[in-house]
Amino acid sequence: MKKQNIDKSLASPIIIDEEKGFVFKTEKEMFQHFDEEIKKIEKEFDEFVGSGLKPIDLKIESEENLLTKTLDRPDEIWVDEKRLNHPFRVYIKEFNEGEYADDNYIFYVALSYMTGELPSFVYLHFATKDLSLVEKYQTEELIYDRLLDEAPLGALEGDALLDGDDLAIGLYQAMLQVRAKDDIQEADFRSYSDIRERGIEEADEIWRNNDFMGNTLVTFIKEFSDENPSFYYIVITIEESEGNSHSLLFSFPTKDKTLLTRYRRGENLQAEEVVQEESH
């Protein structure tokens, strides 16, 4: 396992942050500058490992390759303002293709000093299959989530739309095509995410309907009449084949009563008859 990045080119100054004067003649001088911060971060890492959380060792070539890919196209970026006396960023990427497919998938984590929006010095980087170790670095503010960034605007954590499920995407796109032009804008859907649980647990209406592919869809509808203007929140789920449980497909707010009628189809249920589950 390799903990710091190594710049082998000593022919010219090593520029980390020119504006702050972090320009060094040698690697030794650079590491001396960051030595206190490196030791602090490494000490905590060693404590995590000592408690039973496990990184994995890779060849140096593999580490350099995965580090580059993690910094270039991370799955998540977190801002950490507590570990050091200044903010830095934590880059995380999951590799589950090629030699890391199936049971061999790994996570790669890199803690980096930032020059503007660019990672310029890596304090620590490591590979692990231990999600609990990754979670130790997912503790501050999440500023980038690739799944959310690439998913439809209405995708939320825990739903099948965020996972790229074909059924969820098809139904979601169909909904967008028929909703009124003056309805709540798709770009605003995520600002309503905090009421999704209420939309399920306090639903005014629950409808079960079978689609043409044989899927059993269950729709939860809740009216928020106290809001100004009032609106409805709709949660679309799919009923599992075994048991009376449901997986989230997607959800959205609307003030379009014509759109609302499209989801009032099939059998009208009582709220206590269903149990919610997250998407697969």
Question: What is the dihedral angle through the alpha carbons of 253, 257, 259, 264, rounded to the nearest 10 degrees?
Answer: 100
254/172 Cα distance (integer angstroms): 13
Determine if the peptide bond prior to 152 is cis (ω within 30°): no
The H or E element containing residue 147 is: helix 146-150
Residue-wise burial string across 2-26, b where 16 or more C-beta atoms lie within 10 A, e elsewhere = bebbeeeeeeeebebeeeeebebee
Q: Give the pairing of strands 275-277 and 245-254.
A: parallel
DSSP state letter for 158:
T
Return the pLDDT at 280.
41
Predicted local distance difference test score (pLDDT) of residue 220: 96
Bridge partners of 208, per DSSP, are 218, 267
Taking the C-alpha atoms of residue 266 and residue 268, their distance in angstroms, rounded to an integer, is: 7
For position 279, what pLDDT does the model report?
A: 46
Average pLDDT of each block of 10 consecutive residues along the chain (280 residues)?
A: 50 88 93 96 96 92 93 95 94 83 84 95 96 94 87 88 90 94 94 94 93 89 90 94 80 95 88 49
Q: Are strands 205-210 and 267-269 parallel, antiparallel or unpaired?
A: antiparallel
Check: CB of residue 30 under 8 Å from CB of residue 15: no
User: What is the spatial distance between Cα 69 and Cα 137, in angstroms, rounded to a whole number?
Assistant: 18
Q: Is the entire prediction scored with pTM above 0.85?
A: no
How high is the pLDDT of residue 35?
96
Given this model, what pLDDT does residue 9 score?
47
